[in-house]
Amino acid sequence: MVPTEAGPTTRTVVALADGRELIYFDRGEAVGRDAVDKRPLEPGRSASQVRRDPLTGAWVTIAAHRQVRTYHPPADECPLCPSRDGRLSEIPAEDYQVAVFENRFPSLAGDAADAGVASFDGDPLHLARPGVGRCEVVCFTADHGASFAGLDEDRARLVLDAWTDRTAELSARPGVEQVYVFENRGAEIGVTLAHPHGQIYALPFTTPRTARTIEQAARHRAATGRNLFEDLLAAERADPARVVAAGEHWTAFVPFAARWPYEVHLYPHRRVPDLTRLSEAERAELPGILLDLLRRFDRLFGSAEHPVRAPYIAAWHQAPATGGEELALHLELFTIRRTADKLKYLAGTESGMEAFMNDVAPEYAAERLREVAG
């Protein structure tokens, strides 16, 4: 139970019909949390692998069983809505506030004890091992037509409590190297379920982007004796050209070398490695500034009266279990929309060579995001 100024967060754990774990997070009275999942589900089987790319050293997850996952169901068959009126879903209760459950079609599943030793097929260039880890779905609200941007601050804080709880538990699991909390929104991004939700991956490796930032932070420390993330935040706060919003504990800015047309990074002023290390004051301020940013994205291509839901990815970057002492917790939020009627597709330079080319100047993007403040 996590105490907050709005009251304690109640955590209720139940089992779904196939044995997967479901966790309800509630503020105040939790009703109907003993509802039983009555679906005739067989225990799921995940046969994913992680394979090492010999050219880059990155681990690639192969999860062929996900080809049969639920894809754009009609609203009355949404698996993330509560179970009501005889329609059974992933959430047995008739209503909920925030719910987290193990993905039915996970890219990663199982414990480190199941992994065994990394296996070879006789060729040292073909290194593979079982895709152990965990994939969870985070449902922000029972309202199918809502969005994160439409939540009030108390509900957004409850989501933050759930993210923090899951980060603490998953990062303590044997074999988990990094916990990645994120939200994809919009069909343009590739979202297959329209219900407002995010995901959490407990990964058995450090992600390539994190690995590169660890290398850069080490170079910066060697050259200057200082922390890269602290210097980066200080530089952006000193030059407000790209600052979008700032509070007592958090600052949001468009990065100097933004990859996406509208991209915002949100940093706490005090460097911490992950969500579990935030202070109560930092947690209290975060929901308001995060909701403000999401609403600005919706006003970029619409208006205050008629906002247009921007497709976006909101990615929490947290330090991995090993080698991440220099890293700082931060959110990277970006949309692939560059104008009201144009998307930013990954072209040959980006997809083929990971060399991003941005059509929108970061300074202009920051100016536009300041203009659409509520």
Question: Which amino acids are annotated catalytic?
Answer: 197
| Helix, strand or coil, per DSSP, at residue 119 | strand
Helices (H) and strands (E) in the chain, counts: 6, 17
Gap between the Cα atoms of 372 and 294, Å rounded: 11
Contact by Cβ (8 Å): 197, 139: yes
Strand partners for 265: 253, 332
| Helix, strand or coil, per DSSP, at residue 16 | coil
Instruction: Quote the tokens at residue 265.
Output: 């990074």
Contact by Cβ (8 Å): 297, 262: yes
Residue 86: Cβ within 10 Å count: 5
Angle at 85 between CA 79 and CA 89, to 5 degrees: 15
Identify which of 275, 318, 314 has the alpha carbon closest to the alpha carbon of residue 297.
Answer: 314
Gap between the Cα atoms of 236 and 366, Å rounded: 12
Gap between the Cα atoms of 283 and 290, Å rounded: 11
Crossing angle, helix 280-300 and helix 153-171, to 10 degrees?
Answer: 120
Contact by Cβ (8 Å): 372, 299: yes
Residue whose token pair is 């952006």: 236
Burial of 23 (0-12, 13-18, 19+ CB in 10 A): buried
